[in-house]
Amino acid sequence: MAKIYINETNKISHINPELYGQFSEHLGRCIYEGLYVGEDSDIPNVNGMRTDVIEALKKIHVPVLRWPGGCFADEYHWKDGIGPKEQRKKMINTHWGGVVEDNSFGTHEYFELCRQLGCKTYINGNVGSGTVQEMSEWVEYMTFNGVSPMADLRAANGHEAPWKVDIFGVGNESWGCGGNMRPTYYGDLYRRYQTYVRNYNADAPILKVTCGPNVNDYEWTEKVLDTCFNPSPCHLHGFMDYLSLHYYTTPGPWEHKGSATEFSAEEYYCTLHKALYMEELVEKHGAIMDRYDPEKKIGLAVDEWGTWFDVEPGTNPGFLYQQNTMRDALVAAVTLNIFNQHSDRVKLACIAQMVNVLQSMILTDKEKMLLTPTYHVFHMYRSHQDSDLVENKIEGVKTEGGAMYEVPVLQQSVSVDKDGVLTLTVANLSLEQSCPVEVSFKKLTPGLVQASILTDEKDACNTFDRPDRVVERSFDDVTVVERGLKFVIPPCSVVSLRIR
Q: Which residues bind ligand AHR (CB under 6 A)?
A: 25, 69-71, 172-173, 304, 352-353, 358
Decide if 395 is catalytic.
no
Helix (H) or strand (E) holding 265: helix 265-292
Q: Which of 18, 109, 173, 472 is catalytic?
A: 173
Q: Do the Cβ atoms of 298 and 237 come closer than 8 Å?
A: yes
Q: Which residue is nearest to ligand AHR (CB)?
A: 70
Pairwise CA distance, residues 340 & 39, whole Å: 39
Residue 452: HSE in the Cβ half-sphere, 13 Å Cα cutoff: 14
Helical H segments across 365-477, by residue range: 373-380
Q: Within the chain, how many helices (H) and strands (E) appear?
A: 9, 27
Per DSSP, the residues of 23-55 read E--SSTTTTBTTTB--TT-SS-EETTEEHHHHH
Residue 363: how many CB atoms within 10 A of its CB? 26
> Which residue, 136 or 214, is less far from ligand AHR as judged by CB?
214
- Check if 173 is active-site: yes
The Cα 304–Cα 241 span in angstroms is 17
Which residue, 124 or 452, has its beta carbon nearer to ligand AHR? 124
Give backbone dihedrals phi and psi of 127, rounded to 5 degrees, phi first.
Answer: -100, -35
Query: Cβ closer to ligand AHR: 301 or 390?
Result: 301
Distance of closest approach, residue 485 Cβ to ligand AHR, in angstroms = 39
Between 9 and 94, CB nearer to ligand AHR = 94
Q: How far is the CB of 237 from ligand AHR (least distance, A)?
A: 24
Please provide the DSSP assignment of 127-155 as one string: -SS--HHHHHHHHHHHH--SS-HHHHHHH
Smallest separation, CB 177 to ligand AHR (Å): 6
* For ligand AHR, the closer CB: 45 or 359: 359
Nearest to 105 by CA among 162, 24, 23: 24
Catalytic-role residue among 112, 304, 400, 472: 304
Helix 326-341 / helix 265-292 crossing angle, nearest 10 deg? 20
DSSP state of 310: P
Nearer to ligand AHR, 25 or 386 (CB): 25
Which residues does the annotation mark as catalytic? 173, 304
